[in-house]
């Protein structure tokens, strides 16, 4: 019975989950800012120990590949790759937005589209559109929210917006009768990363560990005191 350990540090905080044959055994989540850098390794060991296993018994490691925080994604991916190299285990990558959509899909009828959103600063979000089967209707993208955002889609479909970037969309599109906004924030979670990873594991959909990189979607831009921009 295969064990999969999943990691998500796409946004603030971090989460870890351990699944066996697709069933959740244990999970740990911290929502504090910058907790991924200091607590991720501890959460990994806690999740495995709590379920009564050792890290070497894990059969594959899954990671939320992005989009999301540049630093958070880099920490999660480097940790997952390090574990895979050290223990000679395969790596599975899951789109962060797809895993978010899985959290809410059971609560809506088949005629709704799901639009997870992550804050990308100012009026921009990282988002994608999924149908009720979690198939992409629109690909993962960085989108600036204005009155024309999702105009064509909202003419034909009811769309559920959620995630920490959805409030920007509510301010602009909240009056549209086909736009629905969840009352609470849906954060990325290793629990649904693990659910999706189980399907990838069964199909042997593994990443090339040496060359795998996070799905940053946008280049990281750091501004120096002289306002010069460099891409890391």
**Mean pLDDT, residues 171-191:** 94
- The per-residue pLDDT for range 9-32, each reduced to its tens digit, is 998 889 999 999 999 999 999 887
Residue with tokens 């959460």: 43
**Mean pLDDT, residues 146-154:** 93
- Band of pLDDT at residue 45, cut at 50, 70 and 90: very high
Q: Left (φ > 0), alpha (ψ -120 to 50) or beta: where does 28 sit? A: beta
Q: Domain 97-181, CATH 3.30.420.40 — does that match?
A: yes
- Band of pLDDT at residue 37, cut at 50, 70 and 90: low
| All CATH 3.30.420.40 domain ranges in the chain, comma separated | 3-96+188-231, 97-181
CA pseudo-torsion sign 89, 12, 40, 70: positive
Residue 228's pLDDT is what?
40
CA dist 160 → 63, 69, 102, 110, 139 (Å): 25, 23, 13, 12, 16
| CATH fit for domain 3-96+188-231, picks 3.40.190.10, 3.30.420.40, 3.40.50.11440, 3.40.50.1100 | 3.30.420.40
Residue 229's pLDDT is what?
40
Tell me the C-alpha distance between 215 and 117, whole Å: 15
Most confident of 35-39, 60-64, 217-221: 60-64
Residue 131's pLDDT is what?
95
- The per-residue pLDDT for range 55-91, each reduced to its tens digit, is 999 999 999 999 999 999 999 999 999 999 999 999 9
Residue 32's pLDDT is what?
72
**Mean pLDDT, residues 166-181:** 94
Residue 220's pLDDT is what?
46
Q: Residue 60's closest CA among 120, 119, 97, 20? A: 20
Q: Residue 63's closest CA among 82, 53, 76? A: 76
As a whole number, the mean pLDDT across the chain is 91
């Amino acid at each position: 019975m295969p064990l999969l350990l999943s990691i998500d540090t796409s946004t603030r905080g971090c989460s870890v989950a351990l699944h066996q044959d697709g069933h959740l055994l244990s999970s740990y989540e911290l929502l504090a800012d910058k907790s991924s850098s200091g607590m991720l390794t501890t959460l990994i060991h806690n999740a495995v120990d709590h379920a009564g296993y050792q890290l070497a018994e894990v059969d594959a490691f899954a990671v939320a590949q992005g989009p999301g925080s540049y630093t958070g994604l880099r920490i999660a991916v480097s940790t997952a790759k390090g574990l895979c190299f050290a223990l000679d285990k395969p790596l599975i990558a899951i789109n962060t937005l797809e895993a978010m959509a899985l959290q809410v899909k059971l609560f809506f009828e088949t005629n709704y589209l799901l639009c997870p959103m992550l804050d990308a600063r100012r009026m921009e979000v990282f988002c994608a559109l999924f149908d009720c089967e979690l198939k992409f209707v629109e690909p993962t993208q960085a989108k600036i929210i204005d009155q024309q955002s999702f105009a064509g889609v909202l003419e034909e479909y009811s769309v559920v917006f959620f995630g920490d970037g959805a409030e920007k969309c509510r301010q602009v599109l909240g009056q549209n009768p086909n736009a629905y906004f969840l009352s609470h924030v849906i954060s990325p979670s290793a629990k649904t990363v693990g659910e999706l990873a189980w399907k990838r594991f069964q199909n042997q959909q593994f990443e090339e560990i040496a060359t795998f990189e996070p799905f940053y979607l946008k280049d990281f831009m750091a501004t120096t005191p002289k306002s010069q921009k460099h891409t890391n």
